[in-house]
Amino acid sequence: MSSASVKTPLLWAGLVVILDQLSKLWVVGSFLTHESLPVIPGLFNLTFVTNTGAAFGILAGTQSLGRQLFFVGVALVALVVLYMAYKEYREQGQIYMTAIGLVAGGALGNLVDRLRLGHVIDFLDFYFRQSHWPAFNIADSAITIGVGLFLLAGFREQGKGKDAG
């Protein structure tokens, strides 16, 4: 096992957590809840919202200990699964290691919010006319990019297998 295969996920995860938490601290210090700043009119705002639910506000609602324990548990299970994926894919190349690091960093970034605040801070608000994509954050972006890279690497390997057969 190369030291690069160990370092890559840790570096990506650390970078994501740092950028995610710094961006959220900036938003909290610069905006009132639900305050919005147009960045690209008609397409993108910075809008400070809190999310007590999962991705896209799924299961959002009144905060409760049960809901918090559920989301913390899901994040911890995801991190265990990512560790198992790391063990399985560590010799498969840097794309897998980068993907695992991005997803782990995103999970950790949102977990920090849940443990510290009881909710997740979201602020990236894309929209077209009256249609808004649910607000998200850097951690969510890292998870999405990481899953995309993982799928891309899998499709590339699947294509190589067909060429060899």
Q: Alpha carbon of 46 to those of 16, 31, 82: distances in Å?
A: 19, 9, 31
- Cβ burial, residue 117 (10 Å; 0-12/13-18/19+): middle
**113 included as an active-site residue:** no
Residue 125 is a catalytic residue: no
Is the Cβ–Cβ distance between 101 and 12 less than 8 Å?
A: yes
| Alpha-carbon dihedral sign for residues 70, 74, 80, 83 | negative
20, 113, 125, 140: which is the annotated catalytic residue? 140
Nearest to 14 by CA among 141, 72, 95, 101: 101
Identify the active-site residue in 20, 113, 122, 125: 122
Q: What is the DSSP string of 81-145?
A: HHHHHHHHHTTS-HHHHHHHHHHHHHHHHHHHHHHHHSSEEEEEEEEETTEEPPPB-HHHHHHHH
Task: Give the residue carrying structure tokens 């009881």.
Answer: 118
Annotated active-site positions, please? 122, 140
